[in-house]
Amino acid sequence: MSLPEIVSREQWRAAREELRRREESARREREALGAERRRLPMVEVDPEYLFEGGDGKATLLDLFEGRSQLVVHHFMFAPEWVTGCPCCAAFLDQVGHLAHLSARNTSFAAVSRAPFTRILPFKARMGWTVPWYSSAPGDFNDDFEATVRDGGKPVDRPGLSCFLRDRDRVFHTYSVYDADLDELGTTAALLDLTALGRRPAGSEALRLHDEYDF
């Protein structure tokens, strides 16, 4: 294992201050990117995409729960799987209480291709309370590129899609997929602050949170 150099407290403070200046520059760049993201054009979409959830059938408009914004987590869970993707599960573990989003007029929901009869027991096992819907057998996953075709076979990928509501009209404003989600998770952000980083030697691959051996 490669460890950082050992220095005096004064040397550490000097190195930390140099890095802080670079972090401040990166923060300003992130803020500028965020402003550009908010200025992206948007695409009007069908508000009547159908899903199945805990209360039966629901439309995309229903997923907003009356709020102006909706963040959809494209959770990888294929129809033939018994459990969902461990990496998607690790991300959903980090979402936390939705009150902070709700207070900002934003709803959150997970969506998967698996039938709701498979989603429900897995959700209960994981102890999650976030809204979770099945998009089967509709085209939602395909239309928002959460399911792509590999030789004609559907292959899911993790992602987030953001939507804006204006009365009964719905607009797609942003999507992000695959490894870019790592930057949005608390675990990755915390590990990025540590000396060993996200994947220290001897660490385990991501598992469902009830499958670790400790």
Confidence of residue 193 (pLDDT cuts 50, 70, 90): confident
Q: Is 70 helix (H, G, I), strand (E, B) or coil?
A: strand
Of 173, 191, 26, whose CA–CA distance to 94 is shortest? 191
Of 162, 188, 51, whose CA–CA distance to 112 is shortest? 51
Contact predicate 71/101, CB 8 Å: yes
Confidence of residue 213 (pLDDT cuts 50, 70, 90): confident
Rounded CA gap, 34 and 140, in Å?
26
> How does pLDDT run across 158-184, given as a tens digit for each residue?
999 999 999 999 999 999 999 888 888
The pLDDT value recorded for residue 201 is 57
Query: Which pair of tokens denotes residue 188?
Result: 């990755």
Choice between 212 and 9, residue whose per-residue pLDDT is larger: 9
Name all domains of the chain by residue range, CATH numbers in brackets. Answer: 43-183 (3.40.30.10)
The pLDDT value recorded for residue 202 is 59
Q: What percent of the chain has pLDDT over 90?
A: 80
Contact predicate 125/116, CB 8 Å: no
Q: Work out the mean pLDDT of the chain and round it to a whole number.
A: 94
Beta strands in the chain (DSSP E): 43-45, 50-53, 56-59, 69-74, 106-112, 132-134, 147-150, 153-156, 159-166, 169-177
Q: What is the DSSP string of 80-110?
A: T-SS--HHHHHHHHTT--THHHHTTTEEEEE
> How does pLDDT run across 20-78, given as a tens digit for each residue?
999 999 999 999 999 999 999 999 999 999 999 999 999 999 999 999 999 999 999 99
Rounded CA gap, 34 and 174, in Å?
11
Contact predicate 181/159, CB 8 Å: yes
Confidence of residue 203 (pLDDT cuts 50, 70, 90): low
- The answer, yes or no, to whether residue 186 has pLDDT greater than 70, is yes
Mean pLDDT, residues 203-211: 84
Confidence of residue 200 (pLDDT cuts 50, 70, 90): low
Among 84-98, 130-144, 185-199, the minimum mean pLDDT is found in 185-199
Sign, Cα dihedral of 160, 55, 95, 167: positive
- The answer, yes or no, to whether residue 142 has pLDDT greater than 80, is yes
